[in-house]
Amino acid sequence: MKNDNLIEKIKEKIEFSIRLKLSVKYIKILVATLLAAAIGIVLVFGLINIKESLDANYRQITSILNQGQVLYPEQDKFPGLQDYAEQKQSPVLVFDRAGNLLWGNQPELAKYKPKSWLKFVRQNGKLFIVQNKKYPLANTSYELVIFTDIGPTIAATSKLAQIVVIVMALLLLPAIAAIIESGKGIFRPIKDMTKTVKHISEENLNLRLNVSGAQDELKELALTFNEMMNRIEDNYNRQKQFVSDASHELRTPITVIQGYADMLSRWGKDDPAILNEAISAIKNEAANMKELIDKLLFLARHDNRTFVFEMEEFSLTEMLLDIVKETQIIDSSHKISYDINQEISLFADRNRMKQAIRILMDNALKYTPPGGEINISLEKVSLEDNNYTAIKIKDTGIGMSEEELKHIFDRFYRADQSRAKEKGGHGLGLAIAKIIILGHQGKIKVRSKKGAGSEFTILLPEKV
Ligand code: ADP
């Protein structure tokens, strides 16, 4: 059982170890290269040697023949060849042009005369290369059949082969060791990374890979992974914060409703004043809760990407004039003016666009003390990259500081907690308005100064 485990472990190591696979691959390449080099060296050496001995024999024989021609001008006598053949122990045959044997120290070997220029012959335990060479001499020409013993060359070549093999093996051992060793350094960062990644869980999303010692490509991988973890952690924290903020917001109306329900059950049933107060408070809080839940649903759908805009062509001018009229009816404590002088139509989600503009109008009303002025205007503007339809909502209210401006589009952010809460704000309005405007490829800009009012501008591109 234990053995089985061990074998399994080794198998797994072999199968999954890139380092091992790479080392084996490199070693194979190295061995193949060295082998090819060795074969090449031995072959070239052997062939050069054989050619050398063939040439040497031919040169020696033709020089003997040339000398004989000077000393014994009468043809077909080849003194000197006998000495050569005996000394070299290599047979020589001389044929005339018609192919008749003129001379040979071993005439019986005439049968080995090659038809073409070369032939291998095994004779008396020796391996010969037999050459058939034409040799012109004194108005005639001969066919020389020269036997060259290649035994010594083969012996020398095989000796060389042995030396080459030993040298290569000696070279190979440190090279293999170096390959195996080099893998260690390269893959250590991967091992460290795996270890760290294994430890990352919901509880410690802040763990990051160490990028200091890694190699270049691994460093990039580690950096990319860390960036991904930053995003995941950020998102996770935001989700957590969102759930906690949402629960917190829902607690207040529920507590109020619960309180009134208790009060009613104890004393309110028969007291019309308490009854009326409780009913109107419960209604209010229920409406407040419904509004909050609608906002949360919108954000959740946006985050899940299940939200779709229903696009249509409509008159923006008409819509803004409607909003002005509605606002004037429900709010008589502010002066509401407008500069809407041209007909502009829009291709957008009508209801969502109205919702976004309403959010800005409601904020202007909420954060402008009674008697203040709110102006809504519509115009075409041209910025560096496109032509835009600009909707401006300007108030003379409490304004915002630079620090507050940085956060007003964050979910659940309220610059002045108590004041906003008292006005029924959840800190979600601007976050939703921003999603709607950006969803229409638009921009939203704010200019504001503490105590000096605010101006929100929605820019919607003419060409998307
Ligand atoms: P809320 O529901 O609290 O109004 P919003 O997301 O609409 O939430 O706004 C976020 C915060 O931005 C508000 O709490 C308020 O402090 C500030 N704010 C928004 N509009 C204005 C404005 N016109 N004037 C001053 N402060 C504003």
Q: How far is ligand 1, taken at its centre, from the CA of residue 456, in Å?
A: 11
Of 349, 400, 382, the C-alpha closest to 462 is: 382
The rounded Cα 319 to chain-centroid distance in angstroms is: 48
Asked if residue 363 has its Cβ within 6 Å of ligand 1, the reply is yes
Asked if residue 416 has its Cβ within 6 Å of ligand 1, the reply is yes
pTM passes above 0.85: no
Residue nearest to atom 21 of ligand 1 (CA): 363
Residue nearest to atom 16 of ligand 1 (CA): 415
Q: Give 72-153's CATH code, choosing from 3.30.160, 3.30.450, 3.40.50, 3.30.1360.
A: 3.30.450
DSSP per position, 377-418: EEEEEE-SS-EEEEEEEEE-S----HHHHHHTTSTT--SSHH
The answer for residues whose C-beta is within 8 angstroms of residue 187's C-beta and 6 or more apart is: 18, 19
What pLDDT does 386 receive?
Answer: 87
Give domain 312-461's CATH architecture.
2-Layer Sandwich (3.30)
Q: How far is ligand 1, taken at its centre, from the CA of residue 284, in Å?
A: 21
What pLDDT does 67 receive?
Answer: 79
Asked if residue 189 has its Cβ within 6 Å of ligand 1, the reply is no
How many whole angstroms separate alpha carbon 320 and alpha carbon 316?
6
Give, rounded to a whole angstrom, the gap between the first and last alpha carbons of the chain: 69
User: What radius of gyration, in Å, describes the C-alpha atoms of the chain?
Assistant: 51
Asked if residue 352 has its Cβ within 6 Å of ligand 1, the reply is no
Q: Tokens at residue 450, please?
A: 């503490």
Q: Which parts of the chain sit beneath pLDDT 70?
A: 1-3, 11-16, 69-77, 213-215, 417-424, 463-464
Counting atoms of ligand 1 from 1, which one is nearest the CA of 428?
Answer: 6
CATH of domain 217-303: 1.10.287.130
What pLDDT does 357 receive?
Answer: 97
What pLDDT does 423 receive?
Answer: 64
Q: Hey, what amino acid is at 231?
A: R
Residue nearest to atom 14 of ligand 1 (CA): 414
The string of pLDDT tens digits covering residues 356-410 is 999 999 999 999 999 999 999 999 999 887 899 999 999 999 999 999 999 999 9
Strands of the sheet containing 118-123, edge to edge, are 101-104, 92-95, 140-149, 126-137, 118-123
Residue nearest to atom 20 of ligand 1 (CA): 363
Counting atoms of ligand 1 from 1, which one is nearest the CA of 359?
Answer: 7
What pLDDT does 307 receive?
Answer: 86
Please state whether beta strands 335-340 and 373-382 pair in parallel, antiparallel, or not at all (unpaired): parallel
What pLDDT does 316 receive?
Answer: 97
Domain boundaries, the chain: 2-43+157-197, 72-153, 217-303, 312-461
The string of pLDDT tens digits covering residues 281-302 is 999 999 989 999 999 999 989 9
Domain 72-153 shares a fold with domain 312-461: no
